[in-house]
Amino acid sequence: GQQLNQSPQSMFIQEGEDVSMNCTSSSIFNTWLWYKQDPGEGPVLLIALYKAGELTSNGRLTAQFGITRKDSFLNISASIPSDVGIYFCAGLLEGSNYKLTFGKGTLLTVNP
C-alpha cells in the first residue's frame, strides 16, 4: 500500500525548545492531516491542510502543505511537557473515498 515516510522516528528535547517533524511521499495527496496520540488513547486531530502551500497554525503548532503536494511538516514552538506523545501525519490520496494513509509516527519526549 501507499507509504508515508515520517521523520524523525523519535525526538528527545528540553522544555521550551522548538521541534519540527515532516512527512514525505512519492504520491500526490490532496489533504494532509496531523494527529497526536497520547498513551492509551486514540489519535486526535491537530491540524488539517487542504491546499498546496497552505500554512495553518493552531496555538503553538504550525503545519504546512508542501507545494509539490508530496510533503508536509509540523512545527511545535516552545514545547511543554504535555506535548509528549506520538505525532502522526496522514494523507488523503486524490480520488480515494477519504481513505487515510498514516505515517509511522514521531515519538516526542519533552524533558522538563
Partner 1 sequence: EAGVAQSPRYKIIEKRQSVAFWCNPISGHATLYWYQQILGQGPKLLIQFQNNGVVDDSQLPKDRFSAERLKGVDSTLKIQPAKLEDSAVYLCASSRTGFETQYFGPGTRLLVL
Q: Return residues touching partner 1 (CB under 8 A).
A: 1, 4, 6, 33, 35, 40-45, 48, 88, 90, 97-100, 102-105
Using CA atoms, how far apart are residues 88 and 7, in angstroms rounded to an integer?
10
Report the residue number, 51 or 99, with the smaller CB distance to partner 1: 99
Q: How far is the CB of 41 from partner 1 (least distance, A)?
A: 5
Report the residue number, 95 or 112, with the smaller CB distance to partner 1: 95
Report the residue number, 8 or 16, with the smaller CB distance to partner 1: 8
Q: How far is the CB of 58 from partner 1 (least distance, A)?
A: 13
Q: How far is the CB of 52 from partner 1 (least distance, A)?
A: 19
Cβ atoms of 72 and 55 within 8 Å: the answer is no
Using CA atoms, how far apart are residues 80 and 109, in angstroms rounded to an integer?
10
63 dihedral zone (left: phi>0; alpha: psi -120 to 50; beta) = beta
Residue with cell 525526538: 11
Report the residue number, 77 or 86, with the smaller CB distance to partner 1: 86
Q: Reduced to 3 states, what is the DSSP secondary structure of residue 83?
A: helix
Q: What is the DSSP letter of 82?
A: G
Q: How far is the CB of 16 from partner 1 (least distance, A)?
A: 28
